[in-house]
Every structure is written in structure tokens, then in C-alpha cells.
Amino acid sequence: MEKLQNYINGELVEPLSKCYFDNINPATGKVYSQIPDSDESDVENAVRAAKEAFPLWKNTTKQERSRIMVRIAQLIFEKRDELAAAESKDNGKSLKLAETVDIPRARENFEFFASGILHFASESHQMEDTAINYTLREPLGVVGCISPWNLPLYLFTWKITPAIAAGNCVIAKPSEVTPMTAYLLSKICIEAGLPKGVLNIVHGYGHKVGNAITENDDIKAISFTGGTKTGQIIASKAATKFKKLSLELGGKNPNIIFEDCDFDKALSTSMLSSFANQGQICLCGSRIFVQKPIYEKFKKAFIEKVNQLKISYPSDPDAQLGAIVSKEHMDKVLSYVELAKEEGGTILTGGKKYEMEGEYKDGFYLEPTVIEGLSYTCRTNQEEIFGPLVTITPFETEEEVLKMANSVEYGLATTIWTQDVTRAHRVAQKIESGVVWINCWLIRDLRTPFGGMKNSGLGREGGFEALRFFTEPKNVCVNV
């Protein structure tokens, strides 16, 4: 059975402990590869390599860094079929989604920051005839990037690309639930000629590898995407060491549908925003609010469409929902179905494990689930579930829906459906959310600031925001 390896100092190596744990294919429930159970000593080795590589990488011209990143992007493109198949197998997502979203976006992340670094400029501030200030921006040194399982290579590369483009050396840890494409990326980096030590990938558990990255004194910044609780642990440890932090955390996103919306578009896009990637995208709209005059009509049409969704094994070209990432996560989602019932909710459709046959019978599949009749303050409507489960709630006025939408601890993304342009902008202003989509969902321009308010995160990723995060500004004042 294939054993994944760490990528340290330009080489693929075993964990020092020589210990591994199982990697499970969620579509079948079977173990199919072995993941290095790395620990602090592997992180220390990686940090040593990164520190050694840093002076050279920092002084490599932007053009050369950019060229290497473009080579990596090209190899991702050439190996897209292999990468998409690996992503789908590791995560349970449909192969089609991996082919059309995850892998193209990983390539784009490399291309985007390969170009971004060539356009990144620092500021200058003139004080009439007294002085000129200019800002130098230098890489931080060795930085840590920790990513989750839902969009494995997509989010992993979203972090490491601005970091290395800006001249830092990176210690990166993919999720232990979905490590395969990060492992394949390490082979690509070797093939592309990325200098040794610039990127180091250490596999393993969060409480071991992630914790060692967070606590290591030589790591100057942490860019983390994952759950809010993990973000709190990382923040509490990193704060005492004055590390720079970028945190992209959980969400409980509202999808607000006003009576004057383009009904068909709101309906079809809400199918995607509810159930794409089995609802396991941090930007999915898990709380659907529909204005009363169209509530019954929308509910009926929505349920009809949900009932037509095809749940299938990930490589089925017609699969609209694949497998849930793990048994543990499937059980968590199912526990929220039980909670919703206790809280007085009515299951309009779904609510159960979806039984497959043959080689997929032990896989982790869930029916897409829609629940109504819950108060907006109950736990089902306040806590992140992160699966194919949405609630649907009627509202009367704009004030009422804003109160309900803003009642949660999170503030990541919101979708607003209305043809009234004034209302669209007014609600967008009042909603507590870092990302707002009006009459659309998941359109992403990589130049825009991306991130959450409240307990959904700290700081913003994307475009120059990310390059600013991964650099240290220094002001130089010249008397003239």
C-alpha cells in the first residue's frame, strides 16, 4: 500500500518516527494509503531547511521566483487528470468537481501570485518639501501554512503561493484527512526545480504537526484555514510569541431571498450554494431565509429539485453529490439532524445516511437535507454543521431578516437575492459578513479581499492583501 512521504529540504523523506496512519477512501470506507505520523522533530528538520534556504530565496529575483511558480502551474495543468482523480478519491468529492474547480484553481493560484508578485509595489508618502517616506516590504522569513480537508489542494496552494512569491520559505501542513494532492504537489515542485527548503510539507495530525508549527519560535507567521475552535487554539499559542496571524475560520452563512428576486436563478443557484461539495464549502449558504409571499412556492420548488439530485460514487460523471469526507464527519452531520428534531424542526427531505451497494456500501453518503420550523436562535441555526444540510425560514421585513442573519457568532459570506438595487446595497452594508454576493454565489476574483468577520476569522487573504501579510513593512524617512 502506498506510503506518503514528507517533503523536506527538497527531498521526499519518511517521518523520523517511521510511524504511519491510515488514509481512508470515503467513497468505499476502505484504507488505501498510509500517512506519515510526523511530529515535532520532523517540523524542526523542515524549519532548519527553510532557514537555510531563506537567504537565497529572498535574494532570488522576483522574475525568477515567478518563473518557477509558472513552471509548477504548468505541471499541475499537465497532470490535471491524475490530480483530479487523487483529490476525488481522497476527499469523496465528485470527480467532475475536482476536474472543474479544485485542480484548475490550484493551477490558477500559482499563476495568480506568480504574476501578482511582479506587480506588487510599496507606498511612498511625500511631506511637501520636508521629507519623503518610502516603505520597504521584505519577506518575513520562515512561515507556516495549515489547511483543511474540504478543498484540499485549492486551499493549500492558496496559502503557500503568496508566501513563496513574496520570498518566504514555508512549512506547510495539509489536512491529515486529505493529504494526497499535497504529496503529489511535492513531486511536482521537485520536477519544476523549486530550490530545496523553499517549500517543506510535513504530514500528520493537527495536535502534533500543526501544534509544532504554531509553537516553533523560528516560524514568524501562521496562515491557517480551518475550524473556529482550532483557530482559537492557534491564536492563543501564537499570540504569546507575537506571530503574525491570518485565520480563515468557520461560517454559518445566510442565503437571503427577497420576494422580488429572479426566482429561477435564486432557486438554481441555491441548489449549488446549499449542496456543492456535499455542503462542505465554507461559503455554502446553510441558512436559507425566504420572504413570506414566495416562501411556499420556493420551498416546494426547492424540495422538488433536491429530490432530483443524484447521489453517487465520486467517479460517476452524473454524480451531483459524492461521499462525505469521513465517517466521523458524517456522524457529526447526522447528530445535527437529531438535534434539529429535538429543537422542533421538520425534516422536509433527507435526514438519513444514503445507502449504496457493492464496493461503495461502506462509504459515507448522506441524503441532502432540508429542515424547516426552527427558531433562528436554536443550535441548529447557530452552529456550523458543514454538510449537506440546510434550514429554511420565512421572514417578513428587511429588518427582521437582518436580525436573524446577523444573530450568529460567524460572519463569513452572505448571498442576497433581489432585483431592487437600492435594497441590495443597503442589506450588503448592514450584513455582518466579509464576503457578500448579490444575485450570484461563489464568483471569485482572486484580487479581492477574502475573509470573515466576527468568529469567522482574522485578516484577509487574496491579491495584495496576502502579499502584504507575508511581508514586513519598513518605513524609511528621507529628509530633503
For the annotated catalytic residues, the residue numbers are 248
Q: Nearest approach, Cβ of 224 to ligand NAD (angstroms)?
A: 7
Compare residues 190 and 233 and give the one whose CB is closer to ligand NAD.
Answer: 233
Judged by CB under 6 A, the residue of 248, 372, 432, 465 near ligand NAD is: 248
160 touches ligand NAD (CB under 6 A)? no
Helix (H) or strand (E) run with residue 77 in it: helix 62-78
* Residues 6 or more apart in contact with residue 138 via CB below 8 angstroms: 58, 167, 471, 472, 474
Question: What b/e string do you get for 313-324 counting C-beta neighbours within 10 Å, with b at 16 or more?
Answer: bbebeebbbbbb
Do residues 199 and 170 lie in contact, with contact meaning Cβ atoms separated by under 8 Å? yes
Compare residues 332 and 341 and give the one whose CB is closer to ligand NAD.
Answer: 332
Binding mask of the shown chain, residues 96 to 135, with x at each position contacting ligand NAD by CB under 6 A: ----------------------------------------
CA–CA distances in Å: residue 293 to residues 161, 296, 299: 47, 8, 11
Compare residues 94 and 214 and give the one whose CB is closer to ligand NAD.
Answer: 214
Q: What is the DSSP letter of 14?
A: -
Compare residues 86 and 201 and give the one whose CB is closer to ligand NAD.
Answer: 201
Rounded CA separation 184/359 (Å): 26
Instruction: Report the alpha-carbon angle 361-362-365, nearest 5.
Output: 80
230 touches ligand NAD (CB under 6 A)? yes
Compare residues 180 and 234 and give the one whose CB is closer to ligand NAD.
Answer: 234
462 touches ligand NAD (CB under 6 A)? no
Do residues 9 and 198 lie in contact, with contact meaning Cβ atoms separated by under 8 Å? no
Q: For the residues of 243-289, what is the DSSP string, one character each?
A: -EEEEE----EEEEE-TTS-HHHHHHHHHHHHHGGGG-STT-EEEEE
Judged by CB under 6 A, the residue of 211, 380, 391, 433 near ligand NAD is: 211
89 touches ligand NAD (CB under 6 A)? no
Q: Nearest approach, Cβ of 147 to ligand NAD (angstroms)?
A: 6
- Of the listed pieces 45-53, 109-117, 191-199, 203-211, which binds ligand NAD according to CB under 6 A? 203-211
Judged by CB under 6 A, the residue of 452, 459, 462, 463 near ligand NAD is: 452
Rounded CA separation 53/50 (Å): 5
Judged by CB under 6 A, the residue of 227, 373, 394, 449 near ligand NAD is: 227
What percent of the residues of the chain are helix, what percent strand, and what percent coil, each to the nearest 5?
A: 40, 25, 35
- Of the listed pieces 91-99, 168-176, 260-268, 352-360, which binds ligand NAD according to CB under 6 A? 168-176
What the block records as the C-alpha cell of 233 is 487554539
Residues within the interface to ligand NAD (CB under 6 A): 146-150, 155, 173, 175-176, 206-207, 210-211, 214, 225-227, 230, 233-234, 248-251, 282, 384, 386, 412, 452, 456-457
